[in-house]
Amino acid sequence: MTSTISMGQYLFKRVAELGIEHIFGVPGDFNLTLLDELFKVQELNWLGVCNELNGAYAADGYARIKGMPGILVTTYAVGELSAMNGVAGAYAEHAGMIHVVGMPGRAVQEARLMLHHTMEPGMDQTVYVGMAEPIRKTHTILTDEKTMAQEIDRVIEAGVKSKLPVYIYVPMDVVGIPLDASRLEKPLNTKVVNTNSQMEDEVVKSTLELIKKSSKPSILADVLTIRHGGRELARRLASATQFPTYSTPLSKGVFDETDSKYNGVYNGEVSFPGCADSLESSDLVLNIGFLLSDSNTGGFTRKIPDGNLATTTAKSTTKVSTVFISYHSAFPNPTPGKKVEVHSPLTQLFTYCNKQILLINNQSQTPLLSTSTSGPITQSYIWQRIGRFLRPNDIILTESGTAQFGLTDAVFPASTQLITQTFWSSIGYTVGACLGALVASKEAQKQKQKLSSNSPSSRVILVVGDGSLQMTVQEIGSYIRFNFTPIIFVINNDGYAIERAIHGPGMGYNDISMLWDHQAMLGFLGAREETGIKGRSFACKSVEELEGVLGEEDFAGAGCIQMCEIFMAKLDYPWRLSAQIAVSRKKMAQALALQA
C-alpha cells in the first residue's frame, strides 16, 4: 500500500528540503489548521512575528543571507494584503520568498458566502489572488487533489530558480488531504541550466576575445550578481583576471573592499573622485547583474560609453563591443531574445583566466571625509567610523534614508554582507529584515558548528533612523523574544531627514513624534531584569561619547542586545544624498525647459 502524507506536511517537507529551518508568519483563522501541520514537521520552526508586513520584511532579509527563499505564512485577505508591500520589495530587488496564504474552504468559496475579510455580498473570494499578480513569479491555488503535489513542487522550484516571490494559496479544507509520500523521495529540481549550450559557448568565446583585445578592462558587479548566487564566481573571476573591480550602492560588499584591485562604489556622478573616471575610461567593462535604478546609478548619470557597455531589455538592444552579463543572461554584442544562465559562462571565464594573470591594478584610495576627534557627530564622520567598527563576516543593515547613502562611504572588511533596500526603499524595512538576517545567520552558524568550522560568527548590526524606526519598531521585541543579540544604531536627527533633504526641510510633514524615549525601548520590549534578558542602551551626542562606546570590548562583542542612540543635526545630510538630489533637480529642470 502506498504511504501517504497530508498536503500540509507535504508542503512543509518540501520547504525543509531547501535547507530552510524557520518559517515566519502570523496566525489567522484561515491558516490555523495549516500551521498544525507545520508543527508536525520536526525540521522546521515557527517564528511568529508582530505583523504581516514585518513578516514579509523578515522573509526578505532571511533570503538575502540564506540564499534560499524566505517562507511567509499569512491568512486570507487581511494578512496577505498587509504583507503585500514587503512582497513587492522582494520582487523589485530579487529577494526570494514563498508566500503561503490560508484561504476559505473550496465549498465556501464556491458559495460566495459573505465571510469576514470579504468586502461585499457575492464577492469572488479569489479577488485578492489577482491583486498579487504583479508582484510574483507564479502561483497556485490548491483546489485539485490530483495535481496538488505537482503544483507545490512547480511553484517552489520556480521561486528558487527565479529569486522572485511566489504564492501558494491553501483552502482550509485541503490541508489534511492525503498525498503520495513517495514523491518526496525525488528531490526538487532547483538547478538553473542553460537550454542553449551553443549560445553559452558563443558568449564565452566572444567574451574571451574581447578580454584578449582589451588593454584596460574592468569588472562592475551589481546587486543581481549577489541575488542569483554569482558573488563567489565574480570574486573568483576578479582574482583570476586581476582586473580592477567596482561595486554599486546596492552591491556594496560584493568584492573584498580591502583588496588592491577594488576601486570603489560606482554611482555615476555620485561617486568618489577618481572612481567614476577610472571605470568610465575602461575599454572593456564586464558588467555583471546590473539593476539600473535611479539611486543605483547616481540619478541615471552612468557615463560608460556604448563602446564599453552592452545593455539590453526585453524591448530593445544596443549592439556594442563588450559584455553585459545579467542575472540569467550574458550577451557579447547581444541578440534580442537569447538568454544564457550566468553561472556557466562565469565559470568558464574563470577557468580560462585562472591560467594567467592578465593585469595588475593599483587600488584607488577612499578619501577620509572627517578627522574629528571631538565635538558634534556629523554625517561626514559617522559612516566611515561605523565602517571601521565592522569586522570580517559582519552583516550590516542600513535603512532607507541618510544611513543608506552615508554608509556607501565606508570601507568594508572582507566578507561583510550588506542588506539595504536602495531600489524599493520602503521606510522601516530594515527592522523586519534584521529579524530574518538574525535567523539566517544563526542557521549558518549552526551549520558551521556541525562541520567543525572555526570561522567566526557573524555580528548583525542594524542602522536605522528615528523616523523609520517608528514604522516597525515592534519587531525589536521579536529579537528579544527569540534571544538574538544584534547591535542597533538609532540615528536621532529629529524626523525624516531624507525627505527634508528632498523637499520641505522646515515643513511639519517631515516631523515625527520626538516624545519617544529610545533609552527605555529595550526594557519596554522585554530586555530587563525581571525577564532575565540583558540589554544595554547608550546615548551619544559627541564624538568623544561615541568613541567610548565603539571602543568598548563588551559592546563590540555583541553578547547581549544593545542599542546606541546617535544624536545628529536635523539638517545635516550625507554628501551622496545631497549630490543625487542636485543631479535629479538638474535633470528635472532640463526636462521642463525642453517642454517649455
Instruction: Determine, yes or no, domain membership for 228.
Output: yes
Radius of gyration of the chain measured on its C-alpha atoms: 25
Q: Does the pLDDT value for residue 60 go beyond 70?
A: yes
All cell numbers assigned to 497: 531627514
**323 and 389 share a domain?**
no
**Inter-axis angle of helices 52-66 and 84-92, nearest 10:** 30
**156 and 205 share a domain?**
no
What pLDDT is attached to residue 249?
95
The domain of 332 spans: 197-353
Q: Does residue 434 or residue 334 have the better pLDDT?
A: 434
**126 and 239 share a domain?**
no
Segment 292-311, tens digit of pLDDT: 899 899 999 998 866 665 43
Number of domains, the chain: 3
**181 and 202 share a domain?**
no
| Mean pLDDT computed over 447-466 | 86
Instruction: Determine, yes or no, domain membership for 387.
Output: yes
| Mean pLDDT computed over 276-302 | 89
Instruction: Give the Cα separation of 281 and 26 in Å (integer).
Output: 52
Segment 472-528, tens digit of pLDDT: 999 999 999 999 999 999 999 999 999 999 999 999 999 999 999 999 999 999 999
CATH number of the domain within which 230 lies: 3.40.50.1220
- In this prediction, what percent of the chain has a pLDDT beyond 70? 88
**37 and 125 share a domain?**
yes
Q: Does the pLDDT value for residue 12 go beyond 90?
A: yes
DSSP for 221-261 reads E-HHHHHTT-HHHHHHHHHHH---EEE-GGGTTSS-TTSTT
**244 and 276 share a domain?**
yes
pLDDT band of residue 210 (cuts 50, 70, 90) is: confident
pLDDT band of residue 196 (cuts 50, 70, 90) is: low
CATH number of the domain within which 45 lies: 3.40.50.970
What pLDDT is attached to residue 123?
94
For residue 466, say whether it is annotated as part of any ligand binding site.
yes
Alpha helices per DSSP H over 425-482? 429-450, 466-472, 476-481
Instruction: Determine, yes or no, domain membership for 134.
Output: yes
All cell numbers assigned to 503: 523637499
How far from chain centre, in Å, is Cα 326? 17
Instruction: Determine, yes or no, domain membership for 311.
Output: yes
Range of weakest confidence among 11-20, 242-251, 333-342, 357-366: 333-342
**544 and 457 share a domain?**
yes
Instruction: Determine, yes or no, domain membership for 9.
Output: yes
**178 and 201 share a domain?**
no
Nearest to 307, CA basis, from 297, 320, 318, 296: 320
Residue type, 72: L
For residue 493, say whether it is annotated as part of any ligand binding site.
yes
Residue that terminates a domain, selected from 312, 336, 353: 353
- In this prediction, what percent of the chain has a pLDDT beyond 90? 74
Instruction: Determine, yes or no, domain membership for 360.
Output: no
How far from chain centre, in Å, is Cα 25? 19
Compute the mean pLDDT over every residue in the chain, rounded to the nearest whole number.
Answer: 89
